[in-house]
Structures are given as C-alpha cells and as structure tokens.
C-alpha cells in the first residue's frame, strides 16, 4: 500500500512524521473520509468545505482546493491500482515545542490514505443498539471530525466486533444523538427526522446530502431533540456515512423495522448511486 505524504507517494512502511507533531502530542488533527467511484471523488468539494472550516478553528494556516487534492489523489490511486476506493485525507498540526501553542501552525502535515473497497450499495442492513455510554460534548463550539475519538472507541468496545450492528449514542439528557460512525434518520408519515446539531453530533457530509435529497423529493425534514421512543414509532430508520452510504436499520432497540425492504431507503439508495459518479457538491445539483 502506498500513501501520500507531504507531496510524495511513499510505501506505508516508510512513511514517518515527527514525534513533535502536535497532531500526535495534543490531538490537533483533522480528517475527511470519502469514496471514489470509478475515479470520481464523490462530494469532494463538500468534504473540503468542512475540512477548511475546521482548519481555521484549529488555527492551522492552510486550506485545500479541489485541484490540489486531485493532484495528490490521482497518482495515489494509480500507484495503488485503484479506481474505486476508500480515501482518508488527514491533516495534522505539524511540529511544535512540547507545551500548548496559541500561535498559528504554519506547516501542517498532509497525509492521504487509499484502500480498496467492495462495490457500493451492498445492501447490508444493520441492527441499532442503544449505547449505555453517553455522547460526549464537543471540545469547542461544534464537533469537528478530529483526532479526538476516544468516545467513539469506547462505544465500539461496548458493542464489540459486530459488523451487523451500530451503536446509537444518547446525550446525557437522554436525547438521540448519532451512531458511533454514522448519522441517524427516521421517516414517519412522510416527514424525515434527524437529531439536531445541538445534541453534539458531527454534521456529516452525507447527512446534509440526504437532507437535500429528501427535500427535493418533497419530503419535509425536521431536526430536533428526540427520544428513543420517537424513533421506535418510525416507518423506516436508517443511518448514513460517506463510506457505508445509506444503511437501513432492521431492528431499532429491539423494535422491528423494514430494513432493506423500506421503500423510502430503496429510493434514496437509487438516487445516491445515480449521482455518485459525477457530483462534486450537494450545492451543484
């Protein structure tokens, strides 16, 4: 496997960064994950929009354009002989002295990982399990897709190695939040519901895209504070992220759901597949 590291494509075994990188010392790092479909990085502009905003928040003096990432991504895909791939773009703060830094980080490290994926839309449904571990609050004003992943790791340990399950976080107040690596949606009487950003969830790129898909179909979308009982009354439940795409839920906290048989999810999956080969942003469609 080859990775991209600060302008060079290197074997993963030969990739090195300094132990003084504040991404390592203090968790000052960000990442975006997305899929490449037959060479096209789906919704890349949306991922970069979130990444560049988060870089400003973390005081990293850099931003990335579509053209810059493509100049790195295309030879990386070719070197790994990939046309369909899982991509992780990772930016860490770079070298600093031991101690907290308030000055901007001028030389962040950019690493891009690419690995093969099975074909999209494998139609795997999952069971949703309510976690006993609460969702932690964001470190700042909003949750960033950052290196601070302990809450997610502990949640994954709680449910164990169960690929057919997703753990669902609640806030300390008992409101539905999100999955360990996903955003949560449910449909009830032609209204699509999803927990509000105020619950501390990550505002997922796929989350925003699904909300736009639903609105274009004439489906009302409501964000708010909801309890487990609200979702258990749903007609359909599903979770989303940029790698797994749209995953229907067959069992939500022991309540049976349509899973793969849900007509709304089936329609969303079809639209998603049709758009994944060329769309750069939800805003251009």
**What would the pLDDT profile of 198-228 be if each residue is shown by its tens digit?**
999 999 999 999 999 999 999 999 999 999 9
Task: Read off the pLDDT band of 124 (50, 70, 90).
Answer: confident
C-alpha dihedral (46, 49, 51, 52), degrees to nearest 10: 160
Give mean pLDDT, residues 12-23: 97
Domain with CATH 3.30.470.10 in the chain: 2-116
Percent of the chain with pLDDT over 70: 98
Do the beta carbons of residue 260 and residue 125 sit within 8 Å?
Answer: yes
Instruction: For 53-90, write each residue's pLDDT tens digit.
Output: 999 999 999 999 999 999 999 999 999 999 999 999 99
Q: Answer yes or no: is pLDDT of 117 > 90.
A: no
Instruction: For 235-268, write each residue's pLDDT tens digit.
Output: 999 999 999 999 999 999 999 999 999 999 999 9
Instruction: For 139-172, write each residue's pLDDT tens digit.
Output: 999 999 999 999 999 999 999 999 999 999 999 9
Instruction: For tokens 């700042």, name the residue.
Output: 140
CATH number given to 126-284: 3.20.10.10
Domain with CATH 3.20.10.10 in the chain: 126-284
Q: Answer yes or no: is pLDDT of 118 > 90.
A: no
Q: Answer yes or no: is pLDDT of 98 > 80.
A: yes
Q: Answer yes or no: is pLDDT of 285 > 90.
A: no
C-alpha dihedral (54, 57, 58, 62), degrees to nearest 10: 70
Q: What is the DSSP string of 50-84?
A: HHHHHHHHTTB-----HHHHHHHHHHHHHHTT-SS
Q: Answer yes or no: is pLDDT of 120 > 60.
A: no
Q: Answer yes or no: is pLDDT of 28 > 80.
A: yes
**Token pair belonging to 127:** 């069971």
- Model pTM? 0.96
Cα–chain center distance at 130:
20
Q: Which pLDDT score, from 0 to 100, does residue 33 have? A: 98
CATH number given to 2-116: 3.30.470.10
Q: Answer yes or no: is pLDDT of 122 > 70.
A: no
Percent of the chain with pLDDT over 90: 96
Tell me how far apart the alpha carbons of residues 38 and 53 are, in angstroms, rounded to a whole number: 28
């Amino acid at each position: 496997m080859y990775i991209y590291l600060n302008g060079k494509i290197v074997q993963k075994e030969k990739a090195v960064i300094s132990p003084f990188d504040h991404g390592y010392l203090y968790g000052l790092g960000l990442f975006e994950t997305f899929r490449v479909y037959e060479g096209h990085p789906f919704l890349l502009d949306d991922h970069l929009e979130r990444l560049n905003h988060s870089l400003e928040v973390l005081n990293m003096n850099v931003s990335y354009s579509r053209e810059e990432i493509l100049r790195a991504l295309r030879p990386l895909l070719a070197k790994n002989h990939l046309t369909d791939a899982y991509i992780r773009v990772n930016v860490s703060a770079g070298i600093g002295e031991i101690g907290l830094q308030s000055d901007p980080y001028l030389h962040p490290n950019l690493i891009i990982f690419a690995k093969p994926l099975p074909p999209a839309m494998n139609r795997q449904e999952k069971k949703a399990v309510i976690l006993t571990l609460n969702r932690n609050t964001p470190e700042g004003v909003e949750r960033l897709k950052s290196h601070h992943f302990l809450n997610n790791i502990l949640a994954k340990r709680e449910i164990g190695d169960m690929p057919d399950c997703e753990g669902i976080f609640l806030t300390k107040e008992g409101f539905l939040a999100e999955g360990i690596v996903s955003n949560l949606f449910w449909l009830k009487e032609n209204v699509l519901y999803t927990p509000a950003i105020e619950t501390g969830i990550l505002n997922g790129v796929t989350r925003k895209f699904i909300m736009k898909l639903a609105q274009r179909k004439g489906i009302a979308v409501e964000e708010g504070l909801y309890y487990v009982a609200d979702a258990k009354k749903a007609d359909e439940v599903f979770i989303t992220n940029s790698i797994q795409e749209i995953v229907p839920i067959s069992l939500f906290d022991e309540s049976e759901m349509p899973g793969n048989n849900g007509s709304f999810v089936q329609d969303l999956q079809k639209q998603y597949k049709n758009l994944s080969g060329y769309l750069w942003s939800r805003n251009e469609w």
